[in-house]
Amino acid sequence: MFEEVIVDQNPHWEGKTFDAGIPRQALRTIEEYMDARQIIAITGVRRCGKSTLLRQTINFLVNEKGVTPSNILFLNLENPFFTAYRDDVVNLEVLFADYQKLADPKGRIYLLLDELQYFKDWQVFVKSRYELSEDIKFIISGSNSRLLSSDLITLLSGRTLPLTLHPFSFSEYLHAKQMEHTHNKLEILRQRHKIRRFCEDYLFEGGFPEVVLTDNTRLKKELLANYAKNILFQDIVPRFKIKKPNLVEKLFFYLASNIASLFTYNRLGKTVGISDKTVKEYLSYFADAFLLFSVDSYAYSIRQQLRSPKKIYCIDNGMISSVAFGFSRNLGRYLENLIFLHFLRGQKHCFYYKTQNGREVDFLIADSSGPLALFQVSVSLQQPATRKREIRSLVEACNEIGQKQATLITVEEEEELSVDGINITIQPLWKFLLSSSSTI
C-alpha cells in the first residue's frame, strides 16, 4: 500500500547520502541522546530546519555509528501523498508493517517521523510501538504548537527527551555564508573584520535557513512574511478554533512592530479591540508556536512580577523586518531582540529588571536560586549622556540584587571598567554571540 512512497523517501537504503546542508549544533545533542531508551522529540518554529536535522541524523547513524541503512526508516508525513490517510492512526501501523516487509530489518530500528502532527492520534501509535519493543528508537519532529500538546504530555510522559530547534545561531549563519571559523581566540581576532560585516547582515536578515541561503532580497522578505502567515493561519487559528483570525493577525503585526517594548494585556486589548483575557490567550498561542515571546519583570514577589508590564520579542530578526511597520531603522530594538534569541537558544530564564529608581536593565538571567547575571544592550556609548545612563542602570541594579559584575553589549565598543566596585564588561555584539562566556 505504501511501498513506493517508503522507497522514495529512503534513498540511503541504496547507499545515497543525504545532502544535509549546514551542520546544526543540535545534532550533538541528538548524538548524546541516541543510545537512550526515550523518544527524541524535536520541536521548533516552522521552517527552522527540523527536516534537515533529521537527514543529518541519518548520515550520522550510517556513517558514524555504522547502522545498517535499511534499519533506518524516514517518513515525511507532510507529503501530500499521505493526505487521504491522516485521519486514521491505523495507517501508521500499515506504514510500519509495509516497511518491515520491504526492508526486513534485523536488530534495532531507528524510526524518524517528520511532521508527525499531520496524522490524527499519532501519539497512540508511538506509545504502542514504544511499549511493545525496546528495539525501536523513535526520533520525531513537528511544529511546537502541536507536538507539545496535552495529549503528548499525557500519553508519553517520562518517555521523551525534548529538543528545541531554532533558526540559525550566528555561528551556524557564518557556516552558511561559507565563513569557516573556530572558537580559537586568535583566529577569531584575525577574521574579526569579516565577522563584523556578517554580524551586521545577521542582525537584519535573521537565521531562517532558506532565507539565509537565498540571495534574492525581495524573495527573502516574501519568504519571511509567508512563514508568519502560515504559522498564524495553518497552526494557530485551526488548532485553537479561533473565530476571528483577523484579530490574531492584527495583534501579531502590532506586536511585531513594537518588539522590545513594554505592554500590558489591558492596553493591548484596547489597541486591538479585544478583551485582555483574549490578548493573554493569543500571546500563549504565539509562544506555543515559537513565534512571539513575552518576558516578565524580575521581582521577588510573584504577585508584583505578574502585575508588571511585559516585554515582547520575536523568533527571528528577519521576520520583524518583513512584517513590522515603521521599524526598519530602530537598530536598538533589533539588537535587543537578537540578544534575547541568544538567551532563548541557550535555554536561559530571561527577565528584564527595573531598579527602585525606575531605571531599566534589559536582561536579568536567573534560575531557581535567584539572579545570575545582568545584561544591558545599547547601540553605542559614544554619547556621554547615553554612557552615563546605561552604566548607572547596571551599577544600581547590581547593588540591588547583590551582583558584582555585569555585561553591556554594543555594536562596536569594547572595554573593561570598574564603577563603584562593580565590574562591567563592554562587549561588541559579534564577539558576544561567539564567546563561550556569553552563555553564562
- At 100, which CATH number? 3.40.50.300
Encoded amino acid at 402, one letter:
G
Encoded amino acid at 234, one letter:
Q
- Among 116, 145, 165, the domain-final residue is 165
- Among 165, 194, 217, the domain-final residue is 165
Report the chain's C-alpha Rg in angstroms. Answer: 23
Is pLDDT at 437 greater than 50 in this prediction?
no
Residue 390's domain comprises 172-439
Paired sense of beta strands 39-44 and 160-165, if any: parallel
Do 134 and 181 share a domain, yes or no?
no
> Nearest CA to 46 among 150, 178, 145, 183?
145
pLDDT at 84: 94
For the chain, how many structural domains are there in total? 2
Is pLDDT at 193 greater than 60 in this prediction?
yes
Do 149 and 16 share a domain, yes or no?
yes
* Reported confidence tier of residue 304, pLDDT bands at 50, 70, 90: confident
Do 140 and 21 share a domain, yes or no?
yes
- Among 165, 195, 221, the domain-final residue is 165
Do 260 and 342 share a domain, yes or no?
yes
Do 25 and 151 share a domain, yes or no?
yes
Question: Rounded to two decimals, what is the model's pTM?
Answer: 0.93
pLDDT at 182: 65
Number of CB atoms found within 10 A of residue 101's CB = 10
Do 90 and 105 share a domain, yes or no?
yes
Is pLDDT at 389 greater than 90 in this prediction?
yes
Q: Which residue has the higher pLDDT, 439 or 75?
A: 75
Do 85 and 206 share a domain, yes or no?
no
For residue 85 the three cell numbers come to: 490517510
